[in-house]
Amino acid sequence: MNAIAPKPILAVEGLTRHFDTAHNLWGRPTHTVKAVDGISFTVAPGETLGLVGESGSGKSTTGRLVLRLEKPTAGRIVFEGEDITGLKTHQLIKVRKKLQVVFQDPYSSLNPRMRVGESVGEPLRVHGVVRGGAEQRDRVAELFRRVGLDPRFMDRFPHQFSGGQRQRIGIARAIALGPKLIVADEPITALDVSIQAQIINLFLDLQEEMGMAYLFIAHDLGMVRYLCHRVAVMLRGRIVEMGPTAEVFANPTHPYTRALISAAPIPDPDREAARRRLPYEPSPPPPEAELREVSAGHFALV
Amino acid sequence: MALLEVRDLTVRFDTGEGTVHAVNGVSYDLEAGETLGVVGESGSGKSVHVLAMLGLIPKPPGRIAGGSVRFDGRELLTLSERELRKLRGREIGIIFQDPMTSLNPVLTVGTQITEALVTHGLMSRRQALERAVALLDLVGIPEPRKRVTQYPHQFSGGMRQRAMIAIGIACEPKLLIADEPTTALDVTVQGQVLDLMRDLKKKLGMAMIWITHDMGVVAGIADTVQVMYGGRVQERGPVRAVFNDTRSAYTWGLLRSLPDHEMPIAAEGERVAVVATERQRLYQIPGQPPDLFQPPVGDPFAPRNPFATKRCLTEVPPLVQAPGAVPGHLVAAWYDLRAQREKAA
């Protein structure tokens, strides 16, 4: 770790989420799914940490735990130096202002009967930033322009927009209160290829302008490599490798990371013809395995 | 004679809000044993044109407004539903994107594989079951004898997709149509399925139409690539030619908008904690996809095309051999992308 590294905006320590999926006659759990199994990581201000892994690896659950949408079984979530793990719903309100979310499908996260301008302005009103009326409309118009939407669209309903436009609306809502961290859960997966680039550029522009950090959950390695400063690879609820993106992609150490990178399709017929995929049957990492530093800031499970 | 001859296929959907011009005159040939990758975004017509030729679009609202599709010398568009059903599964296998919704949850996987074999009268139920075990083994499912008696929910996502492939190839079809078959899969599983399909193609010698939006997947599996936009074919040709000597501005935009897979690697041990200010932006195709209720009169991509000429806006360009390109490399463009790019550079 670098001595001048700033204090993290988010620090997660030993985060764990177990689901008991079966119980015996006495209500004791007989089968437990370890969705997230004691993971630790930090996100620095203005930094993008990518979280990658296959479905069921626990990456989305990690995002939900950080957002406090789910209760951890064990571990701590420290946001801006404050332990938010045990905060009650009403205490979380002031945290929500600075900790926002962008979902995969903005259609299911926008109220279909609410005009999109209202949806974007709602957090501003709820947190008492504006009092509604013209003041709110002005702020929403500004947010619309910022995410590349025509403010005249404010009075339309979600179904009147394309997938890419709806994702812009979701982003406008997320940045309304000037958050310090946005958890983005597969925000481009449902979008067409030509629209993905537009949304990724928007994420980059907004980070540059507003300086917020992203926890970017994705399975598209190409985009993660492009967008994220650091990346953490998850497998069966554990982080098996974590480090600066370029370093992890250049020198993947854990066999699973190597298999993952070797399997990502490359839009180049010559390189595809020459490729050899590294076979790997993912198995749960042994419980005693630990993350060790293999190079500066680059950790792998050994 | 090609295995599949599509001529001027035109598909419309009559909805309460107007007529959707989903497929607007698509023509191509597919040879026996050839793998065609059809690339395009939502609304490009890549899936609909294939569903239409198999009689799988709901009518109404769908309707085939024109054209002809000949498979192995037979016209498909005039076949009755009964004749089509005989064809599907037996001579033309189909694999869909989501195995969870296209597998029947209350039938065993074995029953679903043998269904086509028994229905088409190819073999007895007993023989078919043996064949199902062999097929599950072929697609790489461990313990096939046990698995054949299980239900879809007992399979993982990747295993379900393999079971779908087993169903698709059960009758050893001449043509296998795969609609986004790996989109829902994890990267490592997708890689395994792609390897499996390449293998099966060699073993069985069948032709394939592989529909996808993933340029990386197409680069790895297709002999020929066909890029669709606004219900039309924009470019078509041997996979290397389309990727390395791109002639359509849309294909070019799509390829450029992908993150650079040859990105320079940062110095080892770099610890990034601040915003990278000098990071380049991805290329963005400007604008939005066309309105299929009111398709543009000219080239559907023209409004988003920085190289468009006046003619592009008023007249649909025909799909013809690209000048100076390898034989069979076709493009629908009034502009000359290669000359324009050289001029710009």
Three-state secondary structure of chain B? CCCEEEEEEEEEEEECCEEEEEEEEEEEEECCCCEEEEECCCCCCHHHHHHHHCCCCCCCCEEEEEEEEEECCEECCCCCHHHHHHHECCCEEEECCCHHHHCCCCCCHHHHHHHHHHHCCCCCHHHHHHHHHHHHHHCCCCCHHHHCCCCHHHCCHHHHHHHHHHHHHCCCCCEEEEECCCCCCCHHHHHHHHHHHHHHHHHHCCEEEEEECCHHHHHHHCCEEEEEECCEEEEEEEHHHHHHCCCCHHHHHHHHCCCCCCCCCCCCCCCCCCCCCCCCCCCCCCCCCCCCCCCCCCCCCHHHCCCCCHHHHHCCCCEEECCCCCCCCEEECCCCHHHHHHHHC
Rounded CA separation B141/B157 (Å): 12
Give me the mean pLDDT over the A105-129 stretch: 87
Judged on CB neighbours under 10 Å (0-12, 13-18, 19+), B26 is: buried
Peptide bond into A187 cis (omega under 30): no
User: How high is the pLDDT of residue A5?
Assistant: 62
Kindly provide the ipTM of the predicted complex, given to two decimals: 0.81
With CB atoms and an 8 Å threshold, state whether A5 touches B188.
Answer: no
Rounded CA separation A116/A107 (Å): 11
Q: Which two tokens stand for residue A161?
A: 């927009």
Query: Which residue among A162, A250, A277 places its CB closest to the CB of B191?
Result: A277
Query: Which residue among B187, B215, B239 places its CB closest to the CB of A260?
Result: B187
User: How high is the pLDDT of residue B272?
Assistant: 37
Query: Which of B97, B272, B279, B301 is the mutation pick for testing A, counting most A CBs within 10 A?
Result: B272
How confident is the prediction for chain A on average, in pLDDT? 89
With CB atoms and an 8 Å threshold, state whether A219 touches B186.
Answer: yes
User: How high is the pLDDT of residue B100?
Assistant: 63
With CB atoms and an 8 Å threshold, state whether B190 touches A266.
Answer: no
Q: Which two tokens stand for residue B162?
A: 């393999």
Rounded CA separation A211/A215 (Å): 13
Gap from B73 CA to chain A (nearest CA, Å): 32
User: How high is the pLDDT of residue A110?
Assistant: 85
The domains of chain B are located at 4-91+173-266+282-344
Query: Which residue among B190, B279, B289 places its CB closest to the CB of A204?
Result: B279
With CB atoms and an 8 Å threshold, state whether A197 touches B42.
Answer: no
Gap from A78 CA to chain B (nearest CA, Å): 18
Query: Which residue among B188, B244, B259 places its CB closest to the CB of A226?
Result: B259
Indicate whether A6 pLDDT > 80: no
A265 chain-B contacts, CB cut-off 8 A: 190-191, 194, 214, 216-217, 219-220
User: How high is the pLDDT of residue A220?
Assistant: 83
A221 chain-B contacts, CB cut-off 8 A: 187
CB A206 within 8 A of CB A46: no
A6 chain-B contacts, CB cut-off 8 A: 273
Question: What is the block-wise mean pLDDT of chain B (345 residues), using blocks of 10 residues?
Answer: 95 91 95 95 91 90 94 94 88 80 87 87 87 88 91 84 87 90 78 84 90 92 96 97 96 89 44 45 84 88 92 95 95 93 82
- Closest residue in A to B44 (Cα–Cα): A192
User: How high is the pLDDT of residue A179?
Assistant: 95
More confident residue, B141 or A231: A231
Judged on CB neighbours under 10 Å (0-12, 13-18, 19+), A168 is: buried
A192 chain-B contacts, CB cut-off 8 A: 41-42, 213, 289
Indicate whether A2 pLDDT > 80: no
Indicate whether A283 pLDDT > 80: no
Rounded CA separation B167/A291 (Å): 43
Give me the mean pLDDT over the A237-250 stretch: 91
A7 chain-B contacts, CB cut-off 8 A: none
- Closest residue in B to A294 (Cα–Cα): B269
The tens digit of pLDDT for each residue in A170-205 reads 999 999 999 999 999 999 888 888 888 889 999 999
- Tell whether domain B4-91+173-266+282-344 is in CATH 3.40.50.300: yes
CA angle B88, B94, B95 (to 5 degrees): 160
**pTM assigned to the model:** 0.86
Pairing of strands A10-23, A29-43: antiparallel
Closest of B226, B199, B203, B193 to residue B99, by C-alpha: B193
Closest of B38, B41, B15 to residue B26, by C-alpha: B38
Nearest 10 degrees: CA dihedral of B111, B112, B117, B123? -10
The tens digit of pLDDT for each residue in A16-59 reads 999 887 788 888 877 888 889 999 999 999 999 999 988 778 99
User: How high is the pLDDT of residue B99?
Assistant: 62
Integer-rounded Cα Rg, in Å, for chain A is 20
